[in-house]
Amino acid sequence: MKTNLFFKKKNYIHLYDILKVIGLKPSQKNEKINDLRDLISAKKNDISFINNMKYLEQLKHSKAKYIITNKKFLNNLKNFNNLIPVDNVLKSVSDITNLFYPDSLDDAVDFNVKPPIIKKYPKIKFGKNVLIGKDVKIGKQSIIGHNTIIESNVIIGSNCIIGNNVLIKNSIIGKNVRILDGSVIGKKGFGFFPNYLSNNRYPHIGIVMIDDNVEIGCNNTIDRGSISNTEIGKNTYLDNQIHVAHNVKIGKNCIITGQVGFAGSSTIGNGVQIGGQAGISGHLKIGNNVKIGGGSGVVKNLPDNSKVMGYPAKDIRKFLKENK
Amino acid sequence: MKTNLFFKKKNYIHLYDILKVIGLKPSQKNEKINDLRDLISAKKNDISFINNMKYLEQLKHSKAKYIITNKKFLNNLKNFNNLIPVDNVLKSVSDITNLFYPDSLDDAVDFNVKPPIIKKYPKIKFGKNVLIGKDVKIGKQSIIGHNTIIESNVIIGSNCIIGNNVLIKNSIIGKNVRILDGSVIGKKGFGFFPNYLSNNRYPHIGIVMIDDNVEIGCNNTIDRGSISNTEIGKNTYLDNQIHVAHNVKIGKNCIITGQVGFAGSSTIGNGVQIGGQAGISGHLKIGNNVKIGGGSGVVKNLPDNSKVMGYPAKDIRKFLKENK
Amino acid sequence: MKTNLFFKKKNYIHLYDILKVIGLKPSQKNEKINDLRDLISAKKNDISFINNMKYLEQLKHSKAKYIITNKKFLNNLKNFNNLIPVDNVLKSVSDITNLFYPDSLDDAVDFNVKPPIIKKYPKIKFGKNVLIGKDVKIGKQSIIGHNTIIESNVIIGSNCIIGNNVLIKNSIIGKNVRILDGSVIGKKGFGFFPNYLSNNRYPHIGIVMIDDNVEIGCNNTIDRGSISNTEIGKNTYLDNQIHVAHNVKIGKNCIITGQVGFAGSSTIGNGVQIGGQAGISGHLKIGNNVKIGGGSGVVKNLPDNSKVMGYPAKDIRKFLKENK
C-alpha cells in the first residue's frame, strides 16, 4: 500500500542534493534516488534509515540503496556498506523528507471542503452540516453523521457509519467500519525536533489505514504515520478516549478498552486484549493473543500469549501474587 | 423508571420462541413472556439472567419468572427451579433482547434532527447550528450551546446548560444540570461478542439517567446501559475527559476529577471522591463516602468510608507507609 | 498581565462590605479595597489570601493590604499583622470574588458569537461555520478551522492555526500557536464547595494565557484560572487528550505527551518532559529540565533536573532498579 498518496512527491532527488541538505560533502556522482521509505517498504532505488538497533533484522532484509544511520551505530553495522552516517538521524530524515515531499509539513485546515454534492454520492446518507473535501471516495450504503468533516483524498469503504463531529484526514478506511462521535483520525503525529526558540516539526507523510469491520469509539485520536503508516487491523474494536500515536500498527481482532494510550511506532499482534487506561510505550512489539490488564504500563516487548499486569507490566500471576 | 422507552418493544414473546432463539429445544407450552430485564427490575412475567455470582443476592430477590444462567453455575444455584442453563449467557441474553427490541442494535446517526422550531421551545435559548430530534422535551430556562445535537426522545429538565459541540442521545436529564463542551452522552456501550471475521454487537436498550444539579465537564463520554441504565446521582460533579462505561451507577454528591475511567456495571455510593486518572474496574461495588486517591486502580469492592490509593488500590495509610 | 480583563470589575469594595460578606463583624472603618488578587499579583490596596503553607514565601513578598487565612494557620503566621482569619478560606475568597466580579460565576454559552465579518478580519482565513464573539482580535495570517467557536474578547496572535471543532473562551493566545481539532480552551475550572443539595461553584476570573510558538494537540482541555491564570509558556508542545486544570503554569520548551493530566495550581518549570499518561498532583512545584516517565504519578515537588518514574514517582534509577 502506498503510504504517500496524500502528499505530492518529486519523481526523484539527486543523491548530490540529499547529501547536501543533511550537511555532508556531496560526491560528484549524480545518482537519482526515487523515494525515502522505511526499511521494509523501501525499494532498490530508495533511501531509508535506522535509528534504533531494534530494527537490525529489518535492516538485513531492506532493499534500500542507502541507509541513513547514527555515527555511534557504525560499530554494530560493520557488515553494511551502504550506510550514510550522521549525527541526528531523525533530523536528516526530516530534511530529506522535505526534499521528496515539499508540502508534507503542512497540516493546516483543508479549505477545499464543501457540503456534499448528492449527485456525486447517490448511495450515501449525509447528516446536516457535513463537509467533504476534493476527491473523497465513499462506498455505497455508508452514513456520515452531522457536523462531520471528511478532508480531501480520504477513502471510505461501503457500509460504514461515521458518527457526528468526526474529523477524518489522510486516511483510507475499509468496509463496515464505525467511527463514533468526536474522534479525530489522521492528523499529524507528535513529532518534532526541540529547538530553543521554535521547535521544528517532523514531516508526516504516512497515513491512517483502518481495515474492514473495525469500530473506533468516541473522542479517540488516531494520528497518521511519519514515514510508515498507522494501521488498525480487521475486526479490531476500540472503546472511547483512546490515543493511538504515529506509526502504531494494531493487528486483527483486538479489543482495546477505554482511555488506553499507545506511544509511537509500536506493533501490536492479532487477538490482543488491553484493559482500560493501560499504556504501551513506544517502539515495542506486542505478540499475538497477549492480554494486558487495566492500568498496566507496558515498557518492553511481550511474546505471544503473554498475560501481564502492573506498572511496569509483569506476568499477571506474579503481579497478583505480589499484590494480594 | 422504564429503561427501554427509547426502543420499540414487542408486547410479548412466546417462551417457545425464546428457547428456540437460544438454541434450546422448546417445550410445547406456549407461555407469554413480557420483557427481558435485569434481576432487580424484572417483573413476574419477565425473563432475566445471572452471569456472575456477585449478583446472587439480587437473584434471591428477583421477581423474574425465568433466569438464564451459565451451566457451570448450576451447582451454586440448586435452590432455584426457574433456571434456563446455557453455554454463553451474554450471547443468549443478546439474542433474546433482539426478539423483544428488534431495533436495539442500531446506534446509527439520528436523521430526524432539525434546527429547533422556536414556537415549540419558547423558553429555551438555542445557540447557532443546533440540531434537535423528534419528541425532544426541554424544560424552561434551559440553554443549548452552539453545534450541539439532541437526538430524538431525549428529555432535558429546566434550568440546564448544555455546552457547545455536545451530543446527547438515549438520555433523561434532570433539572439544573450542566453538560459542558464536547461531551458525548448516551451512545451504546462497548459490548460485543468477539467473532473471528466480524464481531457481533451486544444490544443496548438501557439509557443514561442524569439526576438534578449534576455537572458533567468537557470531552466526557458516558455510555448508555445494555439492559439496565447508566445513572449519575443528584449533585454529583464530573471534571473533564472522564469515561463512564455502560450500566455504571454513580451515587449522589460525588466528586470525580479529571481523566477518571469507570469500566462497565460498577456501582458507586454517595459522597464518593475520586482523584484524577483513577480507574474503577467492572462489576464492583464502591460504598458511600469512599475516597480514592489520584491514579489508583480499584479492582475490588470497597466498604463505606474506605480511603484507598495505589495500583491496585489499598488502604491509603498502608500505601503511604510503603511509599514514603 | 491583567487576569481579569474578561470579567466586569467593580472599581472598589469597602472593607466593611468584604468583612460582612464573609460573616465577620465589620469595624466602622470605611476603607476602600481595589481588588482581590493572588499573593504575587496583589498591589498595595488589594486583598489576597493564603490557604496552604506552601505559599509562605509568596506571602512574605506580597504587597496585599489584607490577607485572608485559615484560623488554624495563625500560629504559623505570628509575624503578620494584616491577617483576616476565617474558617474556610476558599469560601470567603469566593464570596469576595463575587463582590468584585459579580458576573464571574457565569460560564454559560456565548450568544454574541456570529459568523465572522470578513471586512473586520481581512487577513484571516476562516473555515465553514465558524462563530466569532464580540471584540475578538485575531492577528494576520492566522487560520481558523471549520466549526470552531472563538468567544467574545479572546485575543489570538498572528500566524496561528486553530483547527476544527475548537472552542476558545477567556484566553489570550500568542503568535504562531497551533490549537488542534476538538480542544476546549478556557472554560472554568473544576472548583466548587460541596453542598448537600446543590454544590456552590467557585468563581473563575483567571484566564488561559498561551505564549508564542506553542502547540496544543487534539481533544485537550485547558481550564482557565480561578484567581490567577492558567499559563503555557513559549514553544511548549502538548500532544493529544491532555487535561490542564485551573491555575496550572507550564514553562517554556516543555514536551507533554498524550493523556497527561495536571491537577490544579501546579507550576511546571522550563524544559520539562513528561511521558504519556503521567499525572501531576495539585499545588506542586516541578523544577526546570525535569524528566517524568510515562505513567508516573507525581505527588511531591521536584527539584531542577530530576528524572523520575513510578507511582508515586521516585528517582528513575531507583524505580528501574526496583523493577528490573
Evaluate if residue A152 carries a pLDDT over 60: yes
A246 annotated active-site: yes
Q: Which parts of B1-79 are beta strand (E)?
A: 13-14, 32-33, 47-50, 66-70
Q: Where along chain C do its domains lie?
A: 13-100, 118-322
pLDDT at C108: 79
pLDDT number for residue A5: 65
Please indicate whether, in this complex, the C-beta atoms of B245 and A235 are within 8 angstroms of each other.
no
B237 → closest Cβ in C114, C192, C243: C192
Q: Is the pLDDT of residue A66 over 80?
A: yes
Nearest Cα of chain A lies from the Cα of B42 at a distance, in angstroms, of 29
Q: Is A187's CB within 8 Å of C176's CB?
A: no
CB contact under 8 A, C258 and A259: no
Q: Is C182 left (phi over 0), alpha (psi -120 to 50) or beta?
A: left
Cα(C302)–Cα(B32) distance, integer angstroms: 68
**Beta carbons of C215 and A195 less than 8 Å apart:** no
- pLDDT value at B1 more than 60: no
Assign A100 to helix, strand or coil: helix
pLDDT at residue C42 in the model: 93
A1 confidence band (pLDDT: 50, 70, 90): very low
pLDDT of C5 reads 66
The continuous run of DSSP H or E covering A309 comes out as strand A307-310
Architecture of the domain delimited by C118-322: 3 Solenoid (2.160)
The CA distances from residue C286 to B5, B98, C244, C266, C303, in Å, are 51, 55, 15, 8, 6
- Cα–Cα distance, B125 to C67 (Å, whole number): 41
A143: left (phi over 0), alpha (psi -120 to 50) or beta: beta
CA geometry: angle A190, A9, A38, nearest 5 deg: 55
- pLDDT per position as a tens digit, B133-169: 999 999 999 999 999 999 999 999 999 999 999 999 9
Neighbours of B27 (CB within 10 A): 10
pLDDT (mean) for B15-33: 89
0.80 surpassed by pTM: yes
Chain A nearest CA to B315, separation (Å): 13
Mean pLDDT lowest for which of A95-99, B25-29, B127-131? B25-29
| A201-A203-A209-A214 Cα dihedral, nearest 10 degrees | 0
Read off the pLDDT of residues B279-302 as tens digits, 9 standing for 90 and up.
Answer: 999 999 999 999 999 999 999 999
Res. A134: pLDDT tops 60: yes
**Which CATH superfamily, name and number, covers A13-100?**
MurE/MurF, N-terminal domain (3.40.1390.10)
pLDDT > 70 in chain C, percent: 98
Query: Residue with C-alpha cell 501546579?
Result: C266
| B265, pLDDT greater than 50 | yes
pLDDT in tens, A8-65: 899 999 999 999 999 998 877 789 999 999 999 899 999 999 999 989 999 999 999 9
Residue B222 cell numbers, joined: 458516558
∠ at Cα B118 (B114, B124), nearest 5°? 105
Q: Are A16 and A30 in contact (CB under 8 A)?
A: yes
A219 and C219 within 8 Å at the Cβ level: the answer is: yes
Residue pairs spanning A and B at CB distance below 8 A = 114
Q: B6: pLDDT confidence band, cut at 50, 70 and 90?
A: confident
Alpha helices in chain B, H assignment, sequence order: 15-21, 56-61, 89-100, 316-322
For the residues of B244-256, what is the DSSP string, one character each? Answer: E-TT-EE-SS-EE
Which partners does chain C have (≥3 C-beta pairs < 8 Å)?
A, B
- Using DSSP, state whether B17 is helix, strand or coil: helix
pLDDT tens digits along B134-143: 999 999 999 9
Minimal-distance CA residue of chain C relative to B254: C194
Which residue ranges of chain C lie beneath pLDDT 50?
1, 3
Q: What are the phi and psi torsion angles at C223 (to 5°)? A: -85, 150
B112-134: pLDDT as tens digits: 999 999 899 989 999 999 999 99
Average confidence score pLDDT of chain A: 94
Catalytic-labelled residue, pool A14, A204, A246, A283: A246
Q: Write down the H helix ranges in chain C.
A: 15-21, 56-61, 89-100, 316-322
Q: How distant, in Å, are the alpha carbons of A20, A104, A153, C36 from that of A7?
A: 23, 6, 10, 54
Smallest CA–CA distance, residue C70 to chain A, in Å, is 38
Cβ-Cβ contacts under 8 Å, C215 against chain A: 199
* Beta strands B192-193; B149-150: pairing state: unpaired
Q: Measured between CB atoms, which of C161, C164, C241 is closest to A221?
A: C241
For residue A232, the surrounding DSSP H or E stretch is strand A230-232
